[in-house]
Amino acid sequence: MSETSSEVSKPPQAAEKNKPEVAQAQKTGAVEQEKSFFQEVKEKANIIWNRFKEATRVLLGKADERLVMPQTEKATEIAEKTKTGSVRDFFKTQSENFRDGIKIRGNDIAAGWYDFLALTNKGREMFWNKFSWGGAWSGENRAKAKERKDYAKQIRAKNVEIKEKARKKRGEAEGLKNAAANIKEKTAAV
């Protein structure tokens, strides 16, 4: 009789928590939460990555069209006029190397991307551990999330580095244009 009254006096919420069907419902909720979150991350990540890959492919095409082909064409003209084949080779190689540099930097980003995906998978695994064995999911996941943010930071750093490279090239271009004009002017003076 006393056992019965003790059970009756339990707070209704606690009693509710102990029911297997409630635990199952919580687990089902967690499964749904996991499914929707990681599915969303995976889908978004794939969209972002495919967009980046496509944009890089387009950029490489532009490098061929706007740099490699016209530079090689013009250098071939000069090479024929001066009978100096090395002019063509120099400009062709220089522009092809530049184009390949875009590809190589893109590949570096891709290497980091696989780590990014691995971190997302790790997050998923830790999420499951939390529900299976009560792991400290949240703190660990925050650390992983930080690593993912670091990847974005690395990409931003690359962006700054490339912009600086572009700025220097503009300066070098100006210097050479002035030099070319100067040589022509001196021609007139001689």
Partner 1 sequence: MNKEELKEYLEGLGLEEGLKKILFEIIDKAPVADQALRNTIAEILELQADFYDKSADLLEEEASLYEKLADELDAIPASPIK
Residues 39-68 that bind partner 1 (CB under 8 A): 40-41, 44-45, 48, 51-52, 55-56, 59, 62-63, 66-67
DSSP codes of every residue in 84-143: -HHHHHHHHHHHHHHHHHHHHHHHHHHHHHHHHHHHHHHHHHHHHHHHHH---HHHHHHH
Q: Which of 78, 104, 110, 118 is close enough to bind partner 1 by CB under 8 A?
A: 78
State which amino acid sits at residue 53.
Answer: K
Q: For the CB of residue 92, give the shortest distance to partner 1 in the complex, in Å.
A: 11
Residue 177 lies near partner 1 (rule: CB under 8 A): yes
> Is residue 71 a contact residue for partner 1 (CB under 8 A)?
yes
Tell me which residue has tokens 């199952």.
24
Please tell me the total number of residues recorded for the chain in this structure: 190
Is residue 130 within 8 A of residue 139, CB to CB? The reply is no
Residues in 94-123 that interact with partner 1 by CB under 8 A? 94-95, 98, 102, 105, 109, 116, 123
Q: How far is CA 21 from CA 9, 25, 26, 131, in A?
A: 21, 6, 9, 16
The interface with partner 1 within residues 136-175 (CB under 8 A) comprises: 137-138, 141-142, 145, 148-149, 151-153, 155-156, 158-160, 162-163, 165-167, 169-170, 172-175
Please, which residue, 10 or 89, has the CB nearer to partner 1? Answer: 89
Closer residue to partner 1, CB minimum distance, 9 or 167? 167
Total residues contacting partner 1 (rule CB under 8 A)? 79
